[in-house]
Amino acid sequence: MQRLLPFVACLVLAALLAAPFVAQATTSAAGPAPSASPPLSGNAVAPSNPQALIGPVATQIAAITGIAISPLLGTGAYGAYHWWQAKTPAQKAALPWYASPWFWLPALFVAAACAAKDAAGAALPPGLKKPADVLETIENKISGLVAAGAVIPMLVSGLSALLATSAPDAAGTAAAATSAVASHATLAAHGLATLPGVTAAFDGSWLLHMAVLPLGIAAFVVVWMASHAINVLILLSPWGAIDAGLKTARTTLLGAVVLVPAINPWAGLILSLGVIFVAWLVAGWSFRLTVFGTLFSWDFFTLRRLRFRPQPLANRMFSSALLKHVGVPMRSYGRLFNEPENGRIVFAWRPWLVMPLRRVEVRVDNPAVARGLFFSTISNGRDTALILPPRYRGHEEAIAEIYAFEGGVQEAGLLRAWSSLRELFGGSAARTQIGG
């Protein structure tokens, strides 16, 4: 049943988006309903023209998707666009905070600095580049939270207003015309008045808004997690060329999501919905990488290894490829329990951090702690079983002693390129060459 949930959610979202267009087509075929109300003016969308509605709808969904892919760049560019569209000082004063130059100029500057860091790529030494990657990961988390709480609800409100405007009944059209002037000031205060077709009223649309809002925020979250996973993959990647390839792919996708709706609204809508659907399918993988990146960044910048002491009975860490064979998803966060009375080691974790606890026995031939440059792992000398967060740096000997690992502590050499790539994307374990 859980496997069908993404498909059901996408069908519900597609039904909500398609209903206004079907209703408009039916109304157009039956002929316009008589009404004494004047036609909507300004940015309002004529209810009898579905083609006039698809463009703004595609633009709104593309904005949600684009900001989710790159929150800082997307929000900064979106705010700069609104500031540029405002022609008078009064209009600029009514714009929301993210459309102020005090926000979007520094935001675009930081985004450009991240791009310059990625362009330098392999030229930067690992000791300098990895801290910069961690900083960018933290920035992505903060800007994602800000966008989810402040910007995305406004965009979703504009989307629900567009869909509500298309209601094909005379009373709704008259009400929209009556309240368009009153709602325009409110929308301007939220930065939505400059969007085409968003001056329609919210009256009678509260039910639609309540249905679209959680779906819109959920779509933003899953796309943001999938995009944020790229930052975490860069943290794990040992080569600048991989970093540049991942960032180029994400930037290309962002450009397509923004530009395609301007060329063909239907193609843009399909592309945005496709991105959301794929992100939903990989949400579990993205969530585990997001948790990994969060703890990695926290341990790294707070120097937690200086305050941390391994516990004799259980220690928190992440699963890796060897445990996939016993049903543990890659990079699940859990505890490694030491049970000397039973002569075994057990890994326990909760899917999505809140689901019922699961336990598996860890069986590794000749286990050893492989000490890496930024974080260490537990492996059999060839395949990785568990990943230790950065807090364990300097405590590898204690871990080997607590769990009585036969191989003790060994220095991890260079990772083989193909195996490392497969592990980054959830495949079989990276084959680590152990030795001097």
Return d(Cα 212, Cα 363) in angstroms, integer.
47
User: Contact 147/67 with Cβ under 8 angstroms?
Assistant: yes
Residues 264 and 402 in one domain: no
Provide the β-strand partners of residue 319. 386
User: Contact 384/343 with Cβ under 8 angstroms?
Assistant: no
The burial of 231, by beta-carbon neighbours within 10 Å (0-12 exposed, 13-18 middle, 19 or more buried), is given as: buried
Angle formed at CA 366 by CA 365 and CA 369, multiple of 5 degrees: 115
pLDDT of residue 347: 96
pLDDT of residue 260: 93
pLDDT of residue 406: 85
86: in domain: yes
39: in domain: no
Residues 126 and 181 in one domain: yes
- Tell which residue, 97, 118, 130, has the closest CA to residue 300: 130
pLDDT of residue 52: 66
Tell which of 233, 261, 293 closes a domain.
293
The burial of 321, by beta-carbon neighbours within 10 Å (0-12 exposed, 13-18 middle, 19 or more buried), is given as: buried
Burial annotation 152-185 (CB, 10 A radius, 16+ → b, else e): bbbbbbbbbbbbbbbbbeeebbebbbebbeebbe
The burial of 36, by beta-carbon neighbours within 10 Å (0-12 exposed, 13-18 middle, 19 or more buried), is given as: exposed
pLDDT of residue 374: 76
Beta-carbon neighbour count of residue 74 at 10 Å? 25
300: in domain: no
Residues 314 and 210 in one domain: no
410: in domain: yes
Which amino acid would we find at residue 99?
A: A
Give 299-364 as a DSSP string: HHHTTGGGT----SSEEEEEE-HHHHTTTPPTT-EEEEEEETTTTEEEEEE-GGGTSPPEEEEE--
Number of domains observed in the structure of the chain: 2
Residues 283 and 369 in one domain: no
Joined together, the tokens standing for residue 164 give 């509500």
User: Contact 319/329 with Cβ under 8 angstroms?
Assistant: yes
3-state class percentages of the chain: helix first, strand second, coil last, to nearest 5: 65, 10, 25
Scanning the structure block, which residue is given the tokens 């923004």?
258
Provide φ and ψ at 29, rounded to 5°: -70, -35
CATH number for the domain spanning 324: value is 2.30.29
Residues 158 and 258 in one domain: yes
* 314-319, strands of its sheet edge to edge: 358-362, 344-349, 333-339, 314-319, 384-387, 377-379, 368-371, 409-415, 432-434
How does DSSP classify residue 39?
A: P
Domain containing residue 144: 2-28+44-293
Q: What pTM was estimated for this model as a whole?
A: 0.71
134: in domain: yes
Tell which of 293, 326, 348 closes a domain.
293
Residues 318 and 216 in one domain: no
SS3 381: coil
Scanning the structure block, which residue is given the tokens 């406004």?
154
- Tell which residue, 256, 181, 169, 244, has the closest CA to residue 205: 169
Tell which of 293, 324, 359 closes a domain.
293
Per-residue pLDDT tens over the stretch 357-379: 999 999 888 889 988 777 889 98
Which residues of the chain are under the pLDDT cut of 50? 1-8, 15-16, 18-48, 167-203, 414-421, 427-436
121: in domain: yes
Q: How far is CA 81 from CA 63, 90, 101, in A?
A: 12, 16, 11
36: in domain: no
Provide the β-strand partners of residue 347. 336, 360
Return d(Cα 119, Cα 34) in angstroms, integer.
61
220: in domain: yes
